[in-house]
Amino acid sequence: MTADQDAAPPLLPPEGLGQIERVLMDLCLVAEDAVPTTLERLLQRIPDERADVIVGLDSRIRDILAIAAARLLPVADRLPAAWPDRLRAALAMEQARAAAFGRIVGQVLGDARVASLSPIVIGGAAIAAGHYPVAFLRHTAQLTLLMPDVDGCERARPVLTALGCQLESETPSRSRRVYRHPTGMPVVLFADRACTRMRDFRHADVLSRARPARMAGCPCQIPAPHDLWTELCYRAIVSGPTVSPQWLLDAVCLLASGDVEAADEAAFRQDTRMRLPYGALARALEAMLPQGALSPGRTEPDAR
């Protein structure tokens, strides 16, 4: 790999997040035995008159609040008085959202007509299913499927419409379709590839490397870690020079899988307009994460 390929990526920690929000990120990432000391560091940054700060957090942090809640509620006796109820509410809300998400996902993936088309679950739902310690803690509000071709998308249409999903938009080539479930949840179908700039992200290629998983009790296929990493990095590139807390947690979970080395080779088979600096990005993330956040040895979860 050349020095140009391994250049540092234009990626910084989330813009606009203050010290309190940064420490909350740490709480989501550190090893469990480090939670008490990280919590102490957080509380030192909160003046007494702002003890209810967790109620009015930045919206980007609210997306990861369920993970912070799962970490903090076991030490609820150390928290400011206003926190436990807010954290329990965040956890309950995420559990309810996950249950609703699971019902829709189960109806889609559990339908034999869809299963026969060999769909691949991509995006955040796949990362949650294959790489989060507890899948429902990741705020996942969209089901995205990579289908083999336009015909596969068309054959899935009766299943989605029977569930009450309305076609909201589609590209002229019909290679991307966005449906909206009555609950408001999007179901997105891509035909063959999610982006023409990612040449190795075609359905047949991704399927050949895919891993089995379970979502909502249904067997499914999710991309290999380095394919998920490709997609994740692409999302960071198209969304701008900074990334969200949710993106950082997704990256940590993928890096912790220990299977990202293959991404260095895969990266530069992509379109040369999209040079994804995997090695440098991994090192940049590791440098700004709490010690132990990328410790190996975690077990693969059974996706919910």
Q: What is the pLDDT of residue 208?
A: 94
pLDDT category at 221 given cuts 50, 70, 90 is: very high
Q: Kindly tell me if the per-residue pLDDT of 116 is higher than 60.
A: yes
pLDDT greater at residue 114 or residue 232: 114
Q: Kindly tell me if the per-residue pLDDT of 233 is higher than 80.
A: no
Domain containing 203: what range? Answer: 96-288
In the chain, the number of structural domains is 1
φ, ψ for residue 82 (rounded to 5)? -80, -10
For residue 115, is it within any domain? Answer: yes
Q: 66-91, pLDDT tens digit by residue?
A: 888 888 999 999 988 878 988 898 88
For residue 86, is it within any domain? Answer: no
Do the strands 143-147 and 186-191 form a parallel or antiparallel pair, or are they unpaired? parallel
CATH number of the CATH domain containing 116: 3.30.460.40
Q: What is the pLDDT of residue 168?
A: 96
- Detail the DSSP E strand segments found in 61-148: 120-122, 143-147
Q: Kindly tell me if the per-residue pLDDT of 14 is higher than 80.
A: no
For residue 180, is it within any domain? Answer: yes
240: alpha, beta or left? (left if phi > 0; alpha if psi -120 to 50): left
Look at the pTM and tell me if it is higher than 0.75: yes
Largest pairwise CA distance in the chain: 60
Average pLDDT over residues 160-182: 95
For residue 66, is it within any domain? Answer: no
For residue 82, is it within any domain? Answer: no
Q: 243-252, pLDDT tens digit by residue?
A: 677 887 888 7
Could you tell me the two tokens for 113? 């007509």
Average pLDDT over residues 183-205: 86
Structural contact between residues 26 and 248, judged by C-beta atoms closer than 8 angstroms: no
What is the total residue count of the chain?
A: 304
pLDDT category at 143 given cuts 50, 70, 90 is: very high
For residue 302, is it within any domain? Answer: no
pLDDT greater at residue 240 or residue 111: 111
Structural contact between residues 114 and 153, judged by C-beta atoms closer than 8 angstroms: no
Q: Kindly tell me if the per-residue pLDDT of 185 is higher than 50.
A: yes
For residue 45, is it within any domain? Answer: no
For residue 110, is it within any domain? Answer: yes
What letter would DSSP give residue 136? G
218: closest CA among 153, 145, 288? 145
Lowest-pLDDT range, 55-64, 210-219, 259-268, 293-302?
293-302
What letter would DSSP give residue 240? -
